Structure 1
Amino acid sequence: MGVHDGHRDRMRKRFLENELNGFADHEALELLLYYAIPRGDVNPLAHALMDRFGSLSGVFSAPVELLAQVKGVGTQTAVLLRLVPQIAQRARLTDLERELALNTRARVGQYLLELFSRERNEAVYEICLDGKGKLLACRRLGEGSASAVNLDIRQIVQNAITFCASSVILAHNHPSGVALPSQADQGATLRAKAALESIDVRLEDHIIVADGEYVSFSESGYLG
């Protein structure tokens, strides 16, 4: 057993006894790197990743191609660093979907803040609900520009029909950090509302998420 093997065993023992309590961010990252790089000292690599991307969150949010540019990070390691937070997010979303009826603005907001937490570009989602606000489906409709989202009206209607929705909530994010709807957002939303009404489905809301906050079209009077 080499000196690095002993260090790895001590780190694992610390985790098993106290989980991540007492670990610095770079140490937590180092522990994860053990499972992609089975031999050697990965502490310098953990520091290099933190220096390059600024924080643990920055490392986990970085694209695979940028992670792989850091010396010592191969494709396998880069994929692991992208995979772990996305699996954790999926687990949290699954719990929210199972436990929460999305029948209040606060519950919808909680769900959407988690949903958009790892989106780097502007994206739009459609949430299909039953008559009691239970989630039937959440579908990513695509990406839009930083200034306005392009809503695929036909796809929105098709999803509502497919999942037998009683109501629909649309949502998109503003990576710029300003959660205010543009005129293009408002116009597209009203077109979606009219199309859904033609099949007797209610557009419950359109919500914009930005910088940990959200704005409701319904509460702001934009749905008419």
Structure 2
Amino acid sequence: MADRHIHSGHRQRMKQRFLNYPPEFMYDHELFELALFYSRPVVNTNNCAHALLEKCGTVSGVLTSDISELEKTEGVGHGSAVFLKVLSEGVMRFLARGCEDMVLDTCDSIRSFFTEYFSGSDSELLCIAVVDAAMALVNTVCLPYKDVLNGSIGQRDLAELLIMRRAYRIVIGIFQPDGCGFPSPDNFAVTHAVSEISAAIGVELVDSVVCCKSSAYSMRSSGAFSFRR
């Protein structure tokens, strides 16, 4: 009885956490735990999520495993294995839209990427694009710009996000739909904050691009900011 009381409401709290905060702040096992709520309505899916990652190694490993292999994971079962494969197919179709082979090795390609990335959005956003040594896009993190500016998402939070993604190099895009496309003092402040925390953990900030609905301004190409190498 006491154990049930301790864990009562856990699923609802997890759902609210996902809805109220950027999903980037959830660890891999927490995302699987939450996803499995919908295929395992009673089972403790935290244990299942940990078991999946221990067996398959990574998120990619889980999503690319065969149903027969997933079924062998303790607590998963056939229904959850099928559910995970449906998720995997959706992810694969999304990635097939072309982003996985994108290389951001010039200021023009970086500007084009962020212009497309922010198209259709009406919110102020900060996008951190993680790239590898050859400047190929690895993944992106999108955060509310105001939360970074006012410190609600602090440097420690940013460092944790970069470490979780094993970032080597990053490019950031700042989107202000009603802006003029030219860096403001706040844009420089956010860029400086990201630059400082990146340098502290050995991650290179390659460029900061300020975007509005009609233009994109590269701080590197304009010489507006001193980027460390």
Q: TM-score range by the shorter chain?
A: 0.5 to 0.7
Q: Which of residues 116, 119, 127 in structure 2 aligns to 1:117?
A: 119
Question: What is the match of residue 188 of structure 1?
Answer: 190
How is 1:130-169 mapped onto 2 (pairs within 5 angstroms)?
130-144=132-146, 149-150=149-150, 152=153, 153-169=155-171
Instruction: String of CA shifts for 1:165-215, please: whole Å, max 9, x gaps.
Output: 211111111211400111121122112211111111111111111133200
- Runs of 4+, deviation exceeding 4 Å: 148-151
Q: Which of residues 158, 172, 175 in structure 2 aligns to 1:173?
A: 175
Change (3 A) 1:150 1:203: farther
Change (3 A) 1:131 1:174: same
When the two structures are aligned, how many residues end up with a matched partner?
133
How is 1:1-224 mapped onto 2 (pairs within 5 angstroms)?
91=94, 95-144=97-146, 149-150=149-150, 152=153, 153-224=155-226
Deviation at 1:125, TM superposition (A): 1.0
Name which one, 1 or 2, has greater alpha-carbon Rg. 1
Give % identity: 20
Deviation at 1:94, TM superposition (A): 5.3
Asked if 1 retains the 8 angstrom alpha-carbon contact of 2:124 and 2:176, the reply is yes
Deviation at 1:97, TM superposition (A): 1.5
Instruction: String of CA shifts for 1:61-108, please: whole Å, max 9, x gaps.
Output: xxxxxxxxxxxxxxxxxxxxxxxxxx9xx95x7534223212222222
User: TM-score with structure 1 length normalisation?
Assistant: 0.53
Question: What is the match of residue 51 of structure 2?
Answer: none
Change (3 A) 1:185 1:106: same
Question: What is the match of residue 41 of structure 1?
Answer: none
User: TM-score with structure 2 length normalisation?
Assistant: 0.52
Change (3 A) 1:150 1:170: farther
Q: For 1:188 and 1:116, locate their aligned partners in 2 and report how far apart those are by CA, in whole Å.
A: 18
Q: For 1:162 and 1:105, locate their aligned partners in 2 and report how far apart those are by CA, in whole Å.
A: 26
Asked if 2 retains the 8 angstrom alpha-carbon contact of 1:172 and 1:209, the reply is yes
Asked if 2 retains the 8 angstrom alpha-carbon contact of 1:123 and 1:149, the reply is no
